[in-house]
Amino acid sequence: MAKDFFSSHESRAERRRQDKERRRRARVRGLVMLVLAVIAVAVAVFLLSRERTAGAGGASPTPSATLTAAAAGSTPAGLPSPSGSSVLAAGGSASPAPGSSASPSPSPAKPPLAKPTKKHPLRVYFGGDSLAGLPGELLAIDGAKSGLMKVQTDYQVSSRLTNPDPVDWPQHLQAQMRSDRPDVGVFMIGINDPGMPMIAGGQYTSYPKKAWLKEYEHRAERLMLMMLHDGAKRVYWVGLPVMPEKGQTAQAYHLNELFKDAAAKHPSVVYVDTSALLATKKGGFIASLRSGDGVHFTNEGAQRIADAVWRAMKRDWQSQTGPD
C-alpha cells in the first residue's frame, strides 16, 4: 500500500511540474509574439512616415483614375507629357499663353481639327457643373440646326474639383470619354470650389493658400489630359464669368488664371475667356444676362458662351483649311 501511495503521489507531482512547465513556455511564447507584434507595428509606422514625408517633398504617387480625398490630382498613366498651348480670348485669336513653363522635351505640333460636314459632324462632349448646363444645351441646338455638331451635355449640379462628392470627375469623365469617343471636349467648372478645402501633400489646405492653388490647377490639368488621352483632338476649357459681387468675381478670375496656366502647357487645349462676354466694358456685372440667383445664365447669357465655344472650334479648323 505504501508503495502504491508514494507512486501515485510522485506521479501527481510530476504532472503538476509538467503542467507548470507548459504554462511557463506558453507565457514565454506569448511574450515573444507580443514583442514581435510591437516591432512590426513600429516598422510599419516608420515606413508610412517616410512615405508621407517623401510625398510632401514632391514625390509623385502612383497614378490613379479615381479622384479621392486623400490622393486626388495624380495624372493617369500614359497621358501626354506637358508642353505648350494657346489661350483664346472671347472673340479674339489664339496666342501663346504667358507664364507657361518650359517643357523638358520638344512640344508636339497641335494636331489638326478637321472641318466638320453634315456627313461627318463633330462629336462634342460638353461637361462641367451647373454653369455648363444651358450653354451646353444651346450649343447642342446650334449643332443640330447646322448639322455640323452632335453635342452631348453632361453637367453635374453642385459638382466640383475639390471633392468627389457628388461626382468623382476623373472617374466619371474617363467613363464618358471612353464610351462616347468625342472629337472635342468642352469643360466648364469651378463656381463651387473656392470655399472647399482639399488634401494636398497629405495635409488639408484651403483657398487661397499656395498649396490649394497648386493642387487645384493640377486637378484641372488632369481632366484636360484625360480628355486628350481618350481621343479628343481638342479641349476647350471655358473660364468663369463675372459674378454679382466683387469678391466672387475676384475668386472666379483667380481660378481662371489657374485654368489658363494649365491649358498653356498643352498645344491641344484652348482656354476660352468669358470675362468680357457677360460684363460691361468696365467689367461690371450685367444682371439681365443672369438668372434670379445672379449666378446661372439666362438664354441670352448662355448663348454668348455657346457662341464663343463655337467660334473657337471654327478658328481651329479654319487654321487648317482657310476661312469658310
pLDDT one-digit tens code per residue, 32-43: 566 566 565 554
Chain centroid, CA 173 distance in Å: 9
* Claim to verify: residue 40 and residue 126 sit in the same structural domain: no
Beta sheet of 94-96, edge-to-edge order: 94-96, 86-88, 269-272, 234-238, 184-188, 122-128, 149-155
> What's the pLDDT tens digit per position in 115-172?
999 999 999 999 999 999 999 999 999 999 999 999 999 999 999 999 999 999 999 9
Q: Which residues pair with 238 in a beta bridge?
A: 272
User: Is 64 within the bounds of a domain?
Assistant: no
User: Is 78 within the bounds of a domain?
Assistant: no
Entry pTM: 0.70
Total count of domains within the chain = 2
* Claim to verify: residue 51 and residue 92 sit in the same structural domain: no
User: Is 67 within the bounds of a domain?
Assistant: no
* Claim to verify: residue 296 and residue 207 sit in the same structural domain: yes
Residue 100: its pLDDT value, please? 35
**Phi first, then psi: what are they for 241, rounded to 5°?**
-90, 175
User: Is 73 within the bounds of a domain?
Assistant: no
User: Is 148 within the bounds of a domain?
Assistant: yes
pLDDT at 95 over 50: no
Question: Which domain does 232 fall in, by range?
Answer: 86-321
* Claim to verify: residue 45 and residue 92 sit in the same structural domain: no
User: Is 151 within the bounds of a domain?
Assistant: yes
Distance between CA atoms of 40 and 188, rounded to whole angstroms? 48
Q: Which residues pair with 123 in a beta bridge?
A: 150
* Claim to verify: residue 138 and residue 204 sit in the same structural domain: yes
Residue 197 burial (10 A CB sphere; 0-12, 13-18, 19+): middle
Q: Of 10, 43, 59, which one is at a domain's C-terminal end?
A: 59
* Claim to verify: residue 90 and residue 53 sit in the same structural domain: no
* Claim to verify: residue 8 and residue 91 sit in the same structural domain: no
Nearest residue to 85 (alpha-carbon basis) of 189, 215, 236, 227 = 236
Grid look-up 488634401 returns: 199
User: Is 53 within the bounds of a domain?
Assistant: yes
pLDDT band at 57 (very low <50, low <70, confident <90, very high): very low
Residue 189 makes CB contacts below 8 A (sequence gap 6+) with 128, 129, 131, 132, 159, 160, 161, 169, 220
Residue 300 makes CB contacts below 8 A (sequence gap 6+) with 288, 289
Grid look-up 448663348 returns: 303
pLDDT at 69 over 50: no
* Claim to verify: residue 41 and residue 137 sit in the same structural domain: no
Evaluated on CA atoms 312, 143, 255, 107, the torsion sign reads negative
Grid look-up 488621352 returns: 229
CATH number of the domain encompassing residue 254: 3.40.50.1110
* Claim to verify: residue 151 and residue 10 sit in the same structural domain: no
Nearest residue to 112 (alpha-carbon basis) of 186, 183, 182, 178 = 183
Output the DSSP codes for 139-206.
Answer: HHHHHHHHTSEEEEEEE-TT--SS--SS--HHHHHHHHHHHH--SEEEEE--TT-TT--EEETTEEE-
* Mean pLDDT of the residues in the chain: 79
* Claim to verify: residue 48 and residue 148 sit in the same structural domain: no
* Claim to verify: residue 24 and residue 144 sit in the same structural domain: no
pLDDT band at 318 (very low <50, low <70, confident <90, very high): confident
User: Is 55 within the bounds of a domain?
Assistant: yes
Contact 237, 260 (CB under 8 A): no
* Claim to verify: residue 176 and residue 32 sit in the same structural domain: no
> What's the pLDDT tens digit per position in 183-208?
999 999 999 999 999 999 899 999 99
